[in-house]
């Protein structure tokens, strides 16, 4: 453990699973006082048992009043990471119903904005905001146009917010396919085939692990000269 973030506070919204949980563990190892946020108390408790010394808060961030109350209750906030996942409507654009496109924004875009809006009021000048977006913001991802729209919309805000919120730093990290609990909902055989296909066509020769993406997020937090950046963390997949 290093003490790089000793005396600093961090909130990881989506910290009970996958990329968020790995990020919370890395920030905790760097000495930050970390709070992880998610909806399920059971998942929060399980993550806390795995990571160790983190606080937990059960908040559904689609609920603006609940998110606002959570941030108002914080004494201080240096680093805010948002890594919320929700189901998305997938399929060829013309076949995804407009309601499905709308639901993708309701589950993925608006919770990010709600958290950013209320969290930003608490962030310290020395602090940072980091959004976990997705490679679909910059690379063609057939069947995922709704996700591309959400991720593109979030990344489109980064440069403006980095200037508006300065000296607080604002960045995004855009993962490629990453082996997290989010994929556990699909049958094992299909998932394994998808991971193998993606590994074969990725320059790094593998898909991502939560710790890979967490390390990119942690760099955005600890490098005080990084701001206004949308950092791909995809093993080079966007290049091929
Ligand atoms: N895994 C990938 O291949 C991949 C690729 C590209 C981009 N990404 C992006 O990376 C981010 C994290 O993905 P992941 O794979 O780490 O997902 P994950 O393992 O499913 O974790 C998602 C986290 O978000 C929390 N969450 C969901 N809805 C919430 C809400 N309304 N309020 C508060 N917390 C909420 C979940 O807890 P509860 O369910 O208990 O609320 C959980 O802690 C997402 O934005 C995803 O789109 C992932």
Q: pLDDT tier at 87 (50, 70, 90 boundaries)?
A: confident
3-state secondary structure of 177: coil
Average model confidence (pLDDT) across the chain: 96
pLDDT at 1 over 80: no
- The CATH number of whichever domain residue 104 belongs to comes to 3.40.50.720
Residue 83: CB within 6 Å of ligand 1?
A: yes
Residue 138: CB within 6 Å of ligand 1?
A: no
In a domain, 103, yes or no: yes
Q: Best of 11, 12, 13, 18 to mutate for ligand 1, by most ligand atoms within 8 A of CB?
A: 18
Q: What is the pLDDT of residues 176-201, one digit of tens each?
A: 999 999 999 899 999 999 999 999 99
Quick one: average pLDDT of 221-231? 98
pTM given for the model: 0.97
Q: Report d(CA 104, CA 118) in Å as an integer.
A: 21
Give the pLDDT of residue 81. 99
Residue located nearest, by CA, to atom 7 of ligand 1: 134
Packed helices 145-164 and 110-120: angle between N→C axes, nearest 10 degrees:
10
- Of 1-10, 48-57, 78-87, 96-105, the one with minimum mean pLDDT is 1-10
Q: What is the pLDDT of residues 28-47, one digit of tens each?
A: 999 999 999 999 999 999 99
In a domain, 66, yes or no: yes
Output the CA 213–ligand 1 centroid distance in Å.
13
Domain count, the chain: 1
pLDDT at 16 over 90: yes
Task: Report which DSSP code applies to 108.
Answer: I
Which domain range does residue 67 map to? 9-231
In a domain, 108, yes or no: yes
The answer to whether 51 and 100 have CB atoms below 8 angstroms apart is: no
């Amino acid at each position: 453990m290093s003490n790089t973030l000793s005396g600093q506070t961090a909130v990881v919204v989506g910290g009970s699973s996958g990329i968020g949980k790995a990020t919370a563990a890395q920030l905790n190892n760097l000495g930050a006082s970390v709070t992880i946020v998610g909806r399920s108390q059971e998942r929060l408790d399980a993550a806390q048992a795995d990571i160790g010394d983190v606080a937990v808060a059960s908040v559904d961030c689609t609920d603006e009043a609940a998110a606002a109350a959570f941030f108002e209750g914080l004494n201080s906030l240096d680093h805010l990471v948002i890594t919320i996942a929700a189901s998305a409507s997938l399929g060829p654009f013309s076949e995804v119903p407009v309601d499905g496109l709308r639901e993708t924004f309701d589950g993925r875009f608006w919770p990010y904005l709600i958290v950013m809006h209320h969290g930003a009021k608490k962030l310290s000048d020395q602090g940072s905001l980091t959004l976990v977006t997705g490679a679909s913001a910059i690379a063609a991802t057939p069947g995922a146009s709704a996700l591309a729209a959400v991720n593109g919309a979030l990344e489109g805000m980064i440069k403006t917010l980095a200037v508006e919120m300065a000296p607080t730093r604002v960045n995004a990290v855009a993962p490629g396919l990453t082996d997290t609990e989010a994929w556990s909902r699909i049958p094992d055989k299909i998932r394994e085939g998808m991971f193998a296909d993606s590994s074969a066509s990725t320059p790094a020769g593998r898909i991502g692990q939560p710790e890979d993406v967490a390390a990119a997020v942690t760099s955005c937090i600890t490098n005080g000269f990084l701001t206004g950046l949308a950092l791909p963390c995809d093993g080079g997949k966007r290049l091929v």
